[in-house]
Structure 1
Amino acid sequence: MRVIFRKSYVQDIQLFRDRGQAFWYLLFAAIALAAPLFLDGYFLDELSFVFIYAIAGLGLMVLTGFSGQVSFGQAAFVAIGAYTHTILLTRYSVPWLLSLPIAALVAGLVGLAVGRICGKMHGLYLAIATLSIAIVTERLIGGAGDFTGGHRGLSVPEINILGLAIDESWKVYLLNFVIFVGCILIVRNLTRTRSGRAMIAIRDSEVSARALGTNVAFFKAYAFFISAVFAGLAGGLLAHAFFYITPETFGMGESIRLLLMIVVGGIGTIHGAVFGAFFIVLLPTVLSWVKIVLPSAVATSGGFDSLAFGLILLGFILFEPDGLYGRWTKIHHYFNVFPMYKKRSFQRQKTFLKTERLR
Structure 2
Amino acid sequence: MRFLFKTDYEQDIRLARHGGQVFWYSVLVAALAAAPWLAPEYWLAQLTFVLIYSVVGLGLMLLAGFTGLFSIGHAAFLGVGAYTEAVLAARGMPFPVSLLFAGVLSAGVGTIVGLPALRVKGIYLGIATLSFGFIVVEVLARWESVTGGNAGMTVRKPGAFGWTVESATGFYYLCLAVAVLATLAILNLLRSPTGRAFVAIRDCEISAQSMGIHLARYKTLSFALSAAFAGIGGALYAHKLTFISPDQFDIAQSIDLLLMVVIGGLGSVHGAFLGAGFLIAMPQLISQVKDYLPPAVGQAPGLQSVVFGAVLIAFVLFEPLGLYGRWVKVRTYFELFPFYREGMFRRQKSFARSDRLK
Equivalent position of 1:255 in the other structure: 254
- Pairing 1:214–2:222 present: no
Q: CA deviation at 1:283?
A: 1.1
More displaced 10-residue stretch of structure 1: 307-316 or 40-49: 307-316
Q: Provide, for residues 67-114 of structure 1, a one-character-per-residue CA deviation record: whole Å limited to 9, x for no partner.
A: 000110110000000001101111x22111211110111001000111
Structure 2 unaligned regions, length at least 5: none
C-alpha change, 1:175 and 1:331, in structure 2 (3 Å) is same
- Unaligned residue ranges in structure 1 (runs of 5+): none
Aligned-residue offset at 1:7: 4.4
Counterpart residue identity of residue 294, structure 1: L
Equivalent position SS for 1:352: coil
Report deviation, 1:349: 1.1
Looking at structure 2, the residues matched to 319 and 137 of structure 1 have their Cα atoms a distance apart, in angstroms, of 35
Is this contact kept in 1: 2:116–2:125, CA < 8 A?
Answer: no
Taking the TM superposition and a 5 Å limit, the aligned residue runs for 1:185-204 are 185-204=184-203
Pair 125,218 (structure 1): closer, same or farther in 2 beyond 3 Å: same
Q: For the Cα contact (< 8 Å) 1:204–1:353, is it kept in 2? A: no
Report SS of the residue matched to 1:305. helix
Residues 4 and 153 of structure 1, relative CA distance in 2, 3 Å threshold: farther
Measure how far apart 1:273 and its partner are: 0.2
Please list, as runs of the form range in 1=range in 2, the aligned pairs for 1:1-359 lying within 5 A after superposition: 6-90=6-90, 92-353=91-352, 356-357=355-356
Deviations 1:302-336 (A, max 9, x none): 43322222222111111110000001111111111
* Bigger shift: residues 131-140 or 253-262: 131-140
**What SS class does the counterpart of residue 159 from structure 2 fall into?**
strand
Match of 2:289, as an amino acid? V
Which residue identity lines up with residue 12 of structure 1 in the other structure? D
Deviation at 1:257, TM superposition (A): 0.5
Q: C-alpha deviations, 1:241-268, integer Å up to 9, x for none?
A: 1111010111111000000000000000
Does the CA contact (< 8 Å) of 2:204 and 2:351 recur in 1? no
Other structure's SS at 2:352 match: helix
Aligned-partner SS, 1:157: coil
Shift of the alpha carbon at 1:301? 3.6
Per the normalisation by structure 2, the TM-score is: 0.95
229-238 or 299-308: bigger deviation: 299-308
Q: 1:173 to 1:280 in 2, by over 3 A?
A: same
Q: Paired residues, what number?
A: 356
Provide closer, same or farther for how the CA distance between residues 4 and 66 of structure 1 changes in structure 2, counting only shifts above 3 A. farther
Determine the C-alpha separation between the residues in 2 that align with 1:12 and 1:232. Answer: 32
Deviation of residue 357 (structure 1)? 2.0
Percentage of matched positions with identical amino acids = 42
Amino acid at match of 1:115: G
Q: 1:331 to 1:297 in 2, by over 3 A?
A: same
Contact 2:265-2:321 at 8 Å conserved across structures: yes
Indicate the SS of the match to 2:93: coil
Distance 1:5 1:138, change over 3 A: farther
Q: Say which is worse superposed, 5-14 or 131-140, in terms of deviation.
A: 5-14
Please report the RMSD computed on the Cα atoms of aligned residues, expressed in angstroms. 1.7
Q: Deviations over 1:27-75 (max 9, x none)?
A: 1111211222222211211111000000000000000000000110110
Shift of 1:5: 7.3
CA distance in 2, matches of 1:203, 1:4: 27
The normalised TM-score by structure 1 is: 0.95
Q: Which runs of 4+ in 1 moved over 4 A?
A: 3-7
Equivalent position amino acid for 1:74 in 2 = H
